[in-house]
Amino acid sequence: MTAGAVEYDESGRVRFHDSCVTDTNQPTFEADWQRRAFGLAVALSEFDHYSWDDFQGELIRAIDAWEKQGQGAEPWEYYDHWVAALQRVVEHHGLLADGYVGPRERDHAAEHDHDH
């Protein structure tokens, strides 16, 4: 049902445009892998596996490298750069290396070192 420029849903409530009802501060994703990559990068940082500044620096470098390729570059895909940055920061911090000691284990070991 439409009255003038106002649209109504099936229950009679005003239907707003998507841009009016979505949080513009929230990230948007076109695919589930993008959402997972975003969540993984944020979670690893929040759990102190690396600082967010480290991730941001890698993301800036990934985008800068793409920009320097000029017309020969692959088409722009933001989350491709996000994943490239995530791969580099994970590698740089050795998160997948044998013997990696996570922040909880480091904190636990530090607490017990002080006991002696």
Residues in the chain: 116
For the chain, what are the domain ranges? 27-115
pLDDT digits (tens, 9 = 90+) for 77-106: 999 999 999 999 999 999 888 888 777 777
If you average pLDDT over residues 100-115, what whole number do you get?
A: 69
Whether 66 contacts 73, CB under 8 Å: yes
Which residues, other chains included, contact 6 with Cβ-Cβ below 8 Å and sequence gap of 6+?
Answer: 14
Q: How many angstroms separate the Cα of 49 from the Cα of each of 12, 34, 55?
A: 50, 20, 11
Inform me whether the pLDDT recorded for 33 exceeds 70: yes
If you average pLDDT over residues 14-26, what whole number do you get?
A: 64
- What pLDDT was estimated at residue 79? 93
Handedness of CA 73, 77, 83, 88 (dihedral sign): positive
- What pLDDT was estimated at residue 81? 94
**Does the pTM exceed 0.75?**
no
Supply 14's token pair.
């005003």
